[in-house]
Structure 1
Amino acid sequence: MRAAVLALLLLAAGAGAQTAAPAPADDGVRGDVTPVHDPVLIRERGVWHVFSTGLGEGPQGVIAHRVSSDGVTWKKGAAPFAALPAWATKAIPGATNIWAPDISFVNGRYRLYYSVSTFGSNRSAIGLATSATLDPGAPGYGWRDEGMVVMSTPRDDFNAIDPAFVADAQGRQWLSLGSFWTGLKLFALDPATGKPLRPGEKPRAIARRPVPSGAPSIVEAPYIFAHGGHYWLIASYDYCCKGVNSTYYTVIARAKSVEGPYLGRDGSSMLAGGGTILLRADLQEKQRFRGPGHAGHYRDTDGTDRIVYHAYDRQRNGAPVLRLATLRWGADGWPRVVPQEITP
């Protein structure tokens, strides 16, 4: 998430809402679905939850939370934080909101990883908060901030934002992250703390795009999940945050090990800018939703693989909106995106 475009995104959302408020954002979701940027999806006891970058005023402007009973109509939920944690404001001067959260249920508690940064800088940090439940009315609810997980500084070759948790078949836990700089990285986690297993260890590279010397690697938003004997890496290429002029698109690749190497359908390596396109807005003059990206994955209780992402809505002056879809797996073992198929 690029903080410098916050005002532009909010302006677009407000302008579009004047004409499109009663209508669904598409044929799948409706209600409070904009502005939504960098979303992740999970379900607890029949209630769907989306967490996303903080946009707007009040606690939702720190980190946003939306809920739905049917996966179709969405409304605001209880925001996890009223303000940035004290450690974050000290570590990242100038930070005002939380970017690109990730949600997972691990060892009996929900883990909410989140990013704190400022536009154009890799002085960034990932934090962790945990709660026994996502339901504010249930016993044990309450977000406990666990502090910093990983930090990057100008001395590092990566940017510590866009975290995503994954556990592998051996029970090992990992955190993928990264945006621009030299690409996407992977840290081994201590299962007891959810923080790096070996503090100070250099992360493993899992994706990058070849660029001229001194230029950034234009890739971000990793998300790894397991399916069919492979680990699948989703990532976003090119530029977000430019409204309908965004060139963001989403690629996918797979590996036998969570550590990679991740290869596209054609064998191209994510370490060389490869992968297979999963989401892209073609026909620029006609397509309503531009720049689809920052996708997260959730496997439902019936085994259905779902993805959540944002795109920029031409009918709402380029505001970022919530998008949901289903992954259907072909005979060749590769997925395709179909409209969401959520059953209440």
Structure 2
Amino acid sequence: MLFSSLPAVLLASLATIVRAQYPDPGACSGDCFTHDPAVVKRADGKYFRFSTLDLIGIWTATSLSGPWTRSGSVIQGASVINMPGNDVLWAPDVTYIRGIYYCFYSVSTSGSQTSAIGYATSTTLESGSWSDQGIVVTSTGSSPYNAIDSNVVNGTGDNEWYLQWGSYWHNIYQARVSINGQYVFRSGNEHQLAYEPADNHKMEGAFIYKKDGFWYLFLSRGICCTYNPSTDPIDQVYHISVCRSNNPAGPYTDKSGAACTSGGGTTVLASHGNIYAPGGQGVFYDNAHGDVLYYHYLDKSVGVDYSQSKFGWNVLTWTDGWPTVS
């Protein structure tokens, strides 16, 4: 029987069951505020969590579940990138390459396409150790993309790196980058990776994770970041989807074979129970847990204001080459 022929009450019950299959986030204690987090585990076992706002705030813990303690910021005073928003900074992505940590960040203001992606470097991750290096990508009102929400992934060789970025407009773009010491330079092959053709193109937060010969493109999709759960269509608020490719430059498709450049994407995590609007995600390998999906979310029992955004995480399991939260 087709779902479309089922009674509305039964359809609603089925939707509730499907949503209930998502697990709740792992435990978090201490200071759990975050938005667009980046998580890194240093070789000595210390966890670092980076977040939008406060010039890329830094929190640390000895366990992924906390207790998390605020320890400062990546950038001091303001970014060296001279444009509006350089004293706030958004959407960190932290990558370790040949002895150096690179923290990529975004400079912009809400709703603006005048944006830039910059980066800072450190050998320790600690607050006060970062050197601000400046611009990698910029955008203006004439660009096809918005230069925010960056992420870097390794390709097929030690010196093959890709930077992906984008939010709304024509969504997600990618380019090759050269990385050597303090030097990061966009080196070409700029192209679109993912696109949501409907409405006003609600797609952002690209993060690529490399595993077992595939590159997995995780995306934040839907309404962000002002909510009213009593009127928001539940299937249209922030949620996490994924496409994959056997080439870091794409093309990327979802589990059904739909192209990520044509609205494709298999949902990995969505709102359920009091867990609302998960997104701003990343993935890392933790020797204590395995592959971990981390993100921010809201708890409807607490509130849905931006300042109430919390750190969430779940272990990823893989079935037939596709990730599932557990």
- After TM superposition, the score normalised by the length of structure 1 is 0.80
* Partner deviation per Cα, 1:2-41 (whole Å, 9 max, x = no partner): xxxxxxxxxxxxxxxxxxxxxxx9651111002x100011
Question: Does the C-alpha gap of structure 1 residues 159 and 290 become closer, same or farther in structure 2, counting only changes over 3 Å?
Answer: same
Mapping 1:193-204, distance limit 5 Å: 195-198=184-187, 201=188, 203-204=190-191
Q: 1:216 Cα deviation (Å)?
A: 3.4
1:266 to 248, 256, 262: 256
Q: State whether residues 295 and 310 of structure 1, in contact with CA within 8 Å, keep that contact through their aligned partners in structure 2.
A: yes
Mapping 1:318-337, distance limit 5 Å: 318=304, 319-330=308-319, 332-337=320-325
Equivalent residue letter for 2:58: H
1:167 and 1:276 map into 2 onto residues whose CA distance is 23
Mapping 1:10-89, distance limit 5 Å: 28-34=27-33, 36-44=34-42, 45-54=44-53, 61-72=54-65, 73-85=67-79, 87-88=80-81
2:99 to 101, 105, 108: 108
Q: 1:170 Cα deviation (Å)?
A: 1.9
Q: State whether residues 172 and 192 of structure 2, in contact with CA within 8 Å, keep that contact through their aligned partners in structure 1.
A: yes
1:98 and 1:306 map into 2 onto residues whose CA distance is 25
Equivalent residue letter for 1:260: G
SS at 1:316 equivalent: coil
SS at 2:64 equivalent: coil
* Partner deviation per Cα, 1:88-147 (whole Å, 9 max, x = no partner): 2x2x235540100000111211000000101111100011100011246xxxx7111111
1:276 and 1:292 map into 2 onto residues whose CA distance is 15
1:317 to 303, 307, 322: 303
- Which 5+ residue runs of structure 1 have no aligned equivalent? 1-24, 55-60, 339-344
Q: 1:264 Cα deviation (Å)?
A: 0.8
Partner of 1:342: none
2:61 and 2:192 map into 1 onto residues whose CA distance is 36
Q: 1:169 Cα deviation (Å)?
A: 2.0
**Pair 1:185 & 2:173 matched:** yes
Question: Does the C-alpha gap of structure 1 residues 27 and 221 become closer, same or farther in structure 2, counting only changes over 3 Å?
Answer: closer
1:316 and 1:82 map into 2 onto residues whose CA distance is 32
* Partner deviation per Cα, 1:303-334 (whole Å, 9 max, x = no partner): 8111110011112211210001110112x121
Partner of 2:155: 168
Equivalent residue letter for 2:92: P
* Partner deviation per Cα, 1:238-258 (whole Å, 9 max, x = no partner): 111124547101101110100
1:50 and 1:234 map into 2 onto residues whose CA distance is 19
* Partner deviation per Cα, 1:197-237 (whole Å, 9 max, x = no partner): 43xx56211000113xxx63211000001112111000011
- Which 5+ residue runs of structure 2 have no aligned equivalent? 1-23
Question: Does the C-alpha gap of structure 1 residues 27 and 263 become closer, same or farther in structure 2, counting only changes over 3 Å?
Answer: closer
How many residues align? The count is 290
Question: Does the C-alpha gap of structure 1 residues 244 and 308 become closer, same or farther in structure 2, counting only changes over 3 Å?
Answer: farther
Equivalent residue letter for 1:182: H
Equivalent residue letter for 2:224: C
% identical equivalent positions: 30
Partner of 2:265: 275
1:263 and 1:240 map into 2 onto residues whose CA distance is 24
1:228 and 1:303 map into 2 onto residues whose CA distance is 18
Q: State whether residues 84 and 107 of structure 2, in contact with CA within 8 Å, keep that contact through their aligned partners in structure 1.
A: no
Q: State whether residues 244 and 317 of structure 1, in contact with CA within 8 Å, keep that contact through their aligned partners in structure 2.
A: no
Partner of 1:10: none
Question: Does the C-alpha gap of structure 1 residues 265 and 307 become closer, same or farther in structure 2, counting only changes over 3 Å?
Answer: same
Relative contact order higher in (CA < 8 Å, ≥ 6 apart): 1
2:197 and 2:204 map into 1 onto residues whose CA distance is 14
Partner of 2:125: 134
Question: Does the C-alpha gap of structure 1 residues 203 and 43 become closer, same or farther in structure 2, counting only changes over 3 Å?
Answer: same
Q: State whether residues 244 and 312 of structure 1, in contact with CA within 8 Å, keep that contact through their aligned partners in structure 2.
A: no
Equivalent residue letter for 1:74: W
- After TM superposition, the score normalised by the length of structure 2 is 0.84
Partner of 2:6: none
1:149 to 112, 116, 136: 136
1:31 and 1:334 map into 2 onto residues whose CA distance is 32
Question: Does the C-alpha gap of structure 1 residues 265 and 320 become closer, same or farther in structure 2, counting only changes over 3 Å?
Answer: same
Q: State whether residues 75 and 132 of structure 2, in contact with CA within 8 Å, keep that contact through their aligned partners in structure 1.
A: no
Q: 1:43 Cα deviation (Å)?
A: 0.4
SS at 1:263 equivalent: coil
SS at 1:271 equivalent: helix
Q: State whether residues 239 and 271 of structure 2, in contact with CA within 8 Å, keep that contact through their aligned partners in structure 1.
A: yes
**Pair 1:232 & 2:216 matched:** yes
Equivalent residue letter for 1:156: S
Q: 1:149 Cα deviation (Å)?
A: 0.9
1:119 to 97, 105, 110: 110
